[in-house]
């Protein structure tokens, strides 16, 4: 729980604040960009909510924060309760943002797909009875896709509750050694119709993306939208192999998708042709072709 005594000086005055326990994971900026901003090594409140909708978003950020670093001087119990029961948040076409990010996954986002042939959980939130009931109401969980070793969090607990099949790549399987489905090598695997596991080594040896309906790319820590620069980004630090990272990004150039749903960073929806162009521009920026000396 956030403490006023640890309130950061970078917050504007008002009800909402961020304290010094913040791990700068981007969760609050994703959920309430009109209230929170990155300031140095932390998030901070740069403008207090000006409407009921903005206040609801700020409370959603408070609830989703993996380390409880967001607080209020005075809590509005009605809006807080509404925010708490709003998760998972619908994105589009049966795809949800789960919320309740886990500190065990460095505050990474997780997602949920509702599908008549069985639901999917993409990476894991922290465990809450409320989320268990929410998943149950949506039809349970058939598969848990783990994008890489960092974001497994409470996957085992949810798998046991729902008898779900956990999917992880062999190279990262030390993080989930008893997973029911192991993806081998670098070839794509269609686990079910409309669901394609794409190995994308680079950030870690066993990083994977999940392409759903040729529309939604769940990208883990491989690819995200940079809201400041308004362009796609990919890791520069904490990279296992930069050459393989480049190859992995290039493999996505011809994939048809219009959503990037990352573990960290901003999600983005662009038309197919604009997304393809954004991926190509990322490659040109990140790995520019060096001219041969004359």
- Tell me: do 134 and 246 sit in the same domain: yes
- Tell me: do 155 and 272 sit in the same domain: yes
| 226-280 residue pLDDT tens | 988 999 999 998 999 999 999 999 999 989 999 999 999 899 999 999 999 999 9
| 175-190 residue pLDDT tens | 999 999 999 999 999 9
To the nearest whole number, what is the mean pLDDT of the chain? 95
Q: What is the mean pLDDT of residues 13-25?
A: 96
Q: What percent of the chain has pLDDT over 90?
A: 93
Alpha helices, DSSP H, located in 46-166 = 52-64, 77-84, 129-137, 155-162
The CA distance from 184 to 127, in Å, is: 29
What domain range includes position 41?
4-84
42-45/36-39 β-pairing: antiparallel
- Tell me: do 111 and 242 sit in the same domain: yes
- Which residues, at least 6 apart from 245, have a Cβ–Cβ distance to it below 8 Å? 201, 202, 203, 222, 234, 235, 239
- Tell me: do 122 and 34 sit in the same domain: no
User: HSE (CB half, 13 Å, CA atoms) of 78?
Assistant: 1
Does residue 131 surpass a pLDDT of 90? yes
CATH number of domain containing 70: 3.30.70.20
The H or E element that residue 272 is part of is helix 272-286
Q: Considering the domain boundaries, does residue 146 fall inside one? A: yes
Does residue 167 surpass a pLDDT of 70? yes
The CA distance from 56 to 99, in Å, is: 14
Q: Considering the domain boundaries, does residue 65 fall inside one? A: yes
If pLDDT is split at 50, 70 and 90, which confidence band does 136 have? Answer: very high
User: CA torsion, points 134, 139, 142, 148, in degrees to nearest 10?
Assistant: -30
If pLDDT is split at 50, 70 and 90, which confidence band does 291 have? Answer: very low
At residue 227, the pLDDT reads 86
- Tell me: do 70 and 171 sit in the same domain: no
- Tell me: do 45 and 15 sit in the same domain: yes
The CA distance from 147 to 145, in Å, is: 6
Q: Considering the domain boundaries, does residue 184 fall inside one? A: yes
Q: Please state the length of the chain.
A: 294
* Contact by Cβ (8 Å): 110, 157: no
* Contact by Cβ (8 Å): 240, 278: no
Does residue 292 surpass a pLDDT of 50? no
Q: Considering the domain boundaries, does residue 38 fall inside one? A: yes
Structure-block tokens of residue 13: 């005055």
Does residue 294 surpass a pLDDT of 50? no
At residue 144, the pLDDT reads 98
Single residue among 84, 113, 134 that ends a domain in this structure = 84
- Tell me: do 134 and 39 sit in the same domain: no
- Tell me: do 103 and 210 sit in the same domain: yes
Structure-block tokens of residue 171: 């190279």
At residue 7, the pLDDT reads 96
- Tell me: do 72 and 122 sit in the same domain: no
Single residue among 52, 67, 84 that ends a domain in this structure = 84
Q: Which residues pair with 198 in a beta bridge?
A: 209
Single residue among 23, 51, 84 that ends a domain in this structure = 84
CATH number of domain containing 223: 3.60.15.10
- Tell me: do 47 and 66 sit in the same domain: yes
Q: Considering the domain boundaries, does residue 294 fall inside one? A: no
Does residue 58 surpass a pLDDT of 60? yes
At residue 168, the pLDDT reads 98
At residue 66, the pLDDT reads 94
At residue 290, the pLDDT reads 56
* Contact by Cβ (8 Å): 216, 259: yes
| 107-130 residue pLDDT tens | 999 999 999 999 999 999 999 999
Q: Considering the domain boundaries, does residue 291 fall inside one? A: no
- Tell me: do 99 and 75 sit in the same domain: no
- Which residues, at least 6 apart from 159, have a Cβ–Cβ distance to it below 8 Å? 141, 144, 165, 166, 180
The CA distance from 270 to 128, in Å, is: 33
How many domains does the chain divide into?
A: 2
195-199/189-192 β-pairing: antiparallel
| 170-226 residue pLDDT tens | 999 999 999 999 999 999 999 999 999 999 999 999 999 999 999 999 999 999 999
């Amino acid at each position: 729980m956030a403490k006023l005594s640890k309130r950061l000086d970078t917050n504007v005055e008002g009800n909402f604040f961020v304290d010094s326990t913040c791990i700068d994971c981007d969760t609050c900026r994703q959920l309430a960009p009109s209230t929170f901003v990155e300031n140095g090594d932390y998030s901070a409140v740069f403008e207090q909510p000006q409407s009921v909708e903005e206040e609801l978003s700020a409370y959603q950020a408070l609830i989703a924060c993996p380390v409880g670093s967001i607080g209020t001087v005075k809590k509005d119990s009605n809006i807080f309760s509404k925010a708490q029961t709003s998760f998972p948040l619908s994105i589009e076409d049966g795809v949800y943002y789960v919320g309740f990010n886990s500190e065990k996954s460095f505050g990474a986002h997780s997602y949920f797909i509702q599908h008549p042939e069985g639901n999917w959980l993409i990476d894991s939130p922290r465990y809450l009875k409320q989320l268990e009931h929410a998943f149950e109401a949506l039809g349970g969980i058939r598969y848990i896709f783990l994008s890489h070793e960092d974001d497994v969090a409470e996957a085992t607990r949810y798998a046991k509750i729902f008898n779900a099949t956990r999917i992880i790549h062999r190279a990262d399987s030390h993080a989930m050694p008893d997973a029911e489905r192991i993806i081998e090598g670098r070839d794509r695997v269609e686990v079910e119709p409309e669901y394609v596991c794409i190995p994308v080594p680079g950030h870690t040896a066993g990083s994977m993306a999940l392409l759903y309906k040729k529309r939604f790319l769940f990208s883990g820590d491989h690819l995200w939208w940079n809201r400041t620069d308004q362009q796609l980004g990919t890791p520069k630090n904490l990279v296992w192999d930069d050459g393989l990272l480049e190859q992995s990004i290039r493999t996505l150039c011809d994939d048809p998708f219009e959503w990037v749903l990352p573990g960290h960073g901003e999600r983005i929806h662009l038309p197919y042709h604009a997304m393809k162009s954004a991926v190509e521009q990322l490659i040109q920026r990140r790995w520019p072709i060096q001219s041969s000396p004359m």
